[in-house]
Amino acid sequence: METLRPDICVIGAGSAGLSVAAAAAAFGVQVVLVEKGRMGGDCLNYGCVPSKALIAAGRQAQAMREAARFGIAPVEPEVDFRQVHGHVHDVIAAIAPNDSVERFTALGVQVIQAEARFADRRTVVAGEFEIRARRFVVATGSRPVIPPIEGIGTIDVLTNETIFDLTRRPGHLVVIGGGPIGVELAQAHRRLGSDVTIIEGTRALGREDPEIAGFALRALREEGVAIREAATVTRVERRGKTGVRVHVETADGAETVDGTHLLVAAGRAPNVEGLDLAKARIALSDKGIKVNDRLRTANRRVYAIGDVAGGPQFTHVAGYHASLILRPLLFRLSARVDTSIIPRVTYCDPELAQVGLTEAEAMAVHKGVRILRWPLSENDRAQAERRTAGLAKLIVSSRGRVLGASIVGANAGEMIGLYGLAIGKGMGVKDLASWLPPYPTMGEIGKRAAIAYFAGVTRKPLVRALIRFMRIFG
């Protein structure tokens, strides 16, 4: 077995691991990257990229149905699902070279395509190599969870790792889980011609502000997606040769839902199996590898980043984690995770975007919180594009500091970043009110919401008296 002594060993070639490896190599640091599966990880192969490509196809189909709003004859699109499948995989193929073994080898990274496991606190074994690095980075990501439902093992269950392999459109897609993944894929398939039912044990999009989530759920229902909330799946069974029957318990009693395909979108689990973390004295929780606010594990030589670190499971968080640990890895500088600036977006239509505290969270920890709203229906660009469903909602402290922002509407994900910056820099509504967005853009709704903070000032007798007094001087 050959012994390698790189400066950094990265385990996992998803978004987090690739970011660390590429950046470290750019500074001339010796890096070994170990990956047992596909380069690019979940985001490229099973997550963000294919799902957004499928969503884009669904959006095109829906635009054809809704063309009458613009004086154009609407048509029901003829969907060739095999070609939709081709579109999704063409997008993956177009991006894949950026994450390939060849590219990273050219950058100076030694890529080992094998399973990695810790042999002790400072040694990783992968294939024919023993790796003794100065620092290790575990970035092995997460995988979909299949809940222990009776009968689940007797049917062919789809997850986000397999649904993009379908070349024939599902007749009736039953989705277990009403979180972001379930909602996004449900709407996309409905727009592409499938019947769709979502089954959620509590409230669909339950993590989101109910006011904000309500816009999206109403849109899904109007498009024909059946959403059953407060419904517990008790059993599943095969129906006929290829179908599925889902048994559900609700407040009204037992029901069944029959479908052709079953998608499980009921959460994710960290990929830690086979790593032999105990040998490296790395502690685990039920959410993943335990890390401190600097993303360091119980073993000071080892960092854990991205999904496996047990925090928010987003690709941009993986990139954020990578940027943070590069500071101590390369420059011995300290860096801490700031969860308040991490945005999240559900890419349904209308999109949901959130950063910082929600209204309920802010009310629970702050006094004198003010909620500022501005509807998309009052936005000129939204009117021009006939996309007026939604609003911007700013959560502000008693002194005007921005605590959080929620946006629902077209392009909400493109708008939310500004408010993460405002929170991170301690900005207030005065700063947002002075921001100059171009006209006409939907981003103006945030500025209008901020200006609403000062609306009461215009009615104060003292202020009006001051204005009258100043007129004396010409």
Please tell me the distance from the alpha carbon of residue 336 to that of residue 395, in angstroms, as a whole number.
24
Q: What angle do CA 368, 373, 375 make, to 5 degrees?
A: 170
In DSSP terms, 304 is beta-bridged to 138
Q: Which amino acid is at 124?
A: V
Q: Establish whether 71 is an annotated binding residue.
A: no
Tell me if 307 is assigned to a ligand binding site.
yes
Ligand-binding site membership of 108 (annotated): no
200 assigned binding-site residue: yes
Whether residue 182 is annotated as binding a ligand: the answer is yes
Residues 287 and 304: their CA atoms lie apart, in Å, by: 12
424 is in an annotated binding site: no
CA 314, CA 107: separation in Å to the nearest integer?
25
Q: Could you check whether the bond before residue 350 is cis, i.e. omega within 30 degrees of 0? A: yes
Beta strands 123-126 and 116-120 are antiparallel
The DSSP code for 178 is -
Instruction: Identify the CA nearest to 423 among candidates 408, 404, 449, 445.
Output: 404
CB 435 within 8 A of CB 417: no
Q: Find out whether the peptide bond into 312 is cis, omega within 30 degrees of 0.
A: no
Q: Is 250 helix (H, G, I), strand (E, B) or coil?
A: strand
Is 37 annotated to bind a ligand? Reply is: no
- Work out the burial of residue 106: count CB atoms within 10 Å of its CB; fewer than 13 is exposed, 13-18 middle, 19 or more buried: exposed
Collapsed DSSP state (helix, strand, coil) of residue 24: helix
Annotated ligand binding at 52? The verdict is yes
Which candidate, 351, 372, 371, places its Cα nearest to that of 360?
A: 371
Tokens 């995770």, residue located: 337
Helix (H, G, I), strand (E, B) or coil at 89: helix
Token pair for residue 411? 């392009």
Q: Is 287 one of the annotated binding-site residues?
A: no
Is 40 annotated to bind a ligand? Reply is: no
Cα–Cα distances (Å) from 54 to 50, 84, 91, 164, in that order, read 6, 7, 10, 9
The distance of Cα 188 from the centroid of its chain, to the nearest Å, equals 16
**Residue 430 assigned ligand-binding role:** no
Per the annotation, does 149 bind a ligand? no
Q: Which residues contact 466 (CB under 8 A, 6 or more apart)?
A: none
Question: Is position 141 annotated in a ligand binding site?
Answer: yes
Are 260 and 244 a contacting pair, CB within 8 Å? yes
Tokens of 128: 């024919």
Is 390 known to sit in a ligand binding site? no
Of 166, 224, 169, 165, the closest CA to residue 192 belongs to 169
Rounded Cα distance between 415 and 255, Å, is: 41
Q: Tell me if 227 is assigned to a ligand binding site.
A: no
Bind-site residues for NAD(+): 177-184, 200, 267
Binding residue positions: 52, 140-142, 177-184, 200, 267, 307
Binding-site annotation: residue ranges for FAD: 52, 140-142, 307
